[in-house]
Structure 1
Amino acid sequence: MLRLEDLTIKFGGLTAVNSVNVEVQDGEIFGLIGPNGAGKTTLFNIVSGVYKPTSGKVIFDGEEVQGTQPYRINQLGIARTYQNINLFKKMTVLENVMVGCHSKSKEGLWGALLKTPAQKQEEERIKEKSLDILKFMDLQHKAMMKASNLSYGEQRRLEISRALASDPKLLLLDEPAAGMNGKEKEELSDLIKKINKLGITVLLVEHDMKLVMKVTDNICVLNYGKKIAYGDPASIQCNKEVIEAYLGGGEFV
C-alpha cells in the first residue's frame, strides 16, 4: 500500500531523514519507532504532504505522491492525527467529525452557499455517517458536547474519529497514546485493532513500547534519520542495535 524509496529530506545542513526505504503492506498495522529526533514525525509529514522530500519517492497505492498537497493526499486515501491534539475546540463533537466527511463532499462551495436540495441531502448523509463513526468510537453520547469539554482520552478518540470520516485506506497515528493513563492505553490498543479489522491499514508512531509490541505486525526503527532495523515485534525486541540506540542497552518492557 505504501512504499518509501530512498526517502531523504534536508533542512539546511541537517539531514532529518536519510535514504529511508520502507514498505507497508495492505491491511497491516505497521509501527515506526525510534528515539526523540529520529525523524519519525518528519517522515509522517512527508507522507501526508506537509513536507516535500529533498529526494526519493513516496508511492501510495501504486501512485507517486511526494510533494502532493495535503488535501489531495487526504482525497487519495491517507488520513492522519497529530502529536498535539488538533481539534476545533469550540465546535461540537459531531461537527468535528462532519468536517472530516466534508473533505470528500461532492456538492462543493456553491451548493453550500445556495443550500440546494442536493446539498441538504448530502449534509444529512454526512451527519448520519458521523453519528455512526461516533458510535463505533463510543462517543455518540457526547455528540452535542463541545470538543473542549471532553476528557484528554476522549479528545484523542475524537481526533481519530475525524480522520476516519474521510474514509482512509491508510491511517497515520502520530503518538496517539501520548498523555494517556494505563486504562486509556489499553482501550486505545483495542481500538487500533478494531479499526484495522475494518480493512484500514495503520501506520503508527508511538513511544509506548508495550502498546507497539502488542498491536503491530511489523516495525521499522529509525535512529538519526536512518533505518537501522525492520522486522516483527519479536525480532525487534532482541535486536542489539535497536536496544543500544533506542534504549541505551536496557530491555523492552
Structure 2
Amino acid sequence: MEFEAFYLPLGENRFAPTRATESPWDHSAQHGGPPSALLAHVAADAARATGAGSRPARISVDFFGAIPRRELAVEVSPVRPGRRIDLTEAVMTVAGRTVAVARVWSLAVGPTPPVVTELTPPPAVPDSSPEVLFGLPDWGYGQAIEWRYTAGSPEDPGPADVWTRVRVPLVAGLPLTGLDRALIAADAANGISVELPIDSWWSIPPGMTTHLTREPDGEWVHLACCTQIAADGIGLCHGELSDVRGSIGEVAQPLLVQAR
C-alpha cells in the first residue's frame, strides 16, 4: 500500500490530502468519505475538549461541489454548547473557498437504561475481495479500503451489502477511531448501490447524514445499501451500518440522477 494516510497534518488544522482520498469520478477531486470523516473527527475532538462525556450521534455533511485534492483547512466553532447535548460545526476550505460543512450533534453517555435493543450480527466477513470496483482498477479511495461483498457485486447495479476495512489512518500519526472508520465508509453507500451505469449516468450526493447509536467495534464496518430513484430524477440512498456485533446506525444521501 503506497498511502501513508488519507491526510498529512500541516499544523493549525491544515491538511494535505493524499491520493488515498482520490474520487473515482474525478482524479483531481476527493471522494466524499475522507473529508466527511476529517470534519467529524475535528469537530468531535473540539466537543470532547469541553470535558463533557459525550460522543457523536448525528453527523450531517454538505458538499459545496467537488472537493479539490489540494491543501485544505478546517475551522471549528460551537453552535449550541451544552453539557448533555452539544452541536459543533466544522467548515472545510480550499484556497479560502468553502468546500464542505459538517454539523455534529454529540450526546452525553450515561448509565445503561432498562431497555437496550438486541443486536443481530450481519453475515460473516467473506474470505476474498473483488480485484476491481465499478470497472475502475486504479483510484485511491478504492485502494485505501478493503471491500468484501455479502450481497450484490461491484459489477452489477442495484442493492448491495459489503464489509469495509480502512487500510490506512485518517490522519498520519493518529490511530483510526471507530468514528473515522464508519464515516470514511459511509459516503460510499450510493456508489455501492448505484442503480445506473456510472459511465453514462451521474448519481451525485450533495451531502450525507449519518446517525450512530455507537461506534463500531473492530476494524470492519458493514454497509447494507439500496437506492431509490423517482420519475423526475431525484434519488435517495439509504445504508445500514453494522459491525460484527450488529447495527451501529444508518446513512442517508439525497441524489441528483441525470444522464452524463
* Higher strand proportion: 2
More helix by share: 1
Higher relative contact order (CA 8 A, sep 6+): 1
TM, length-normalised to structure 2: 0.23
Say which one has the larger Rg: 1
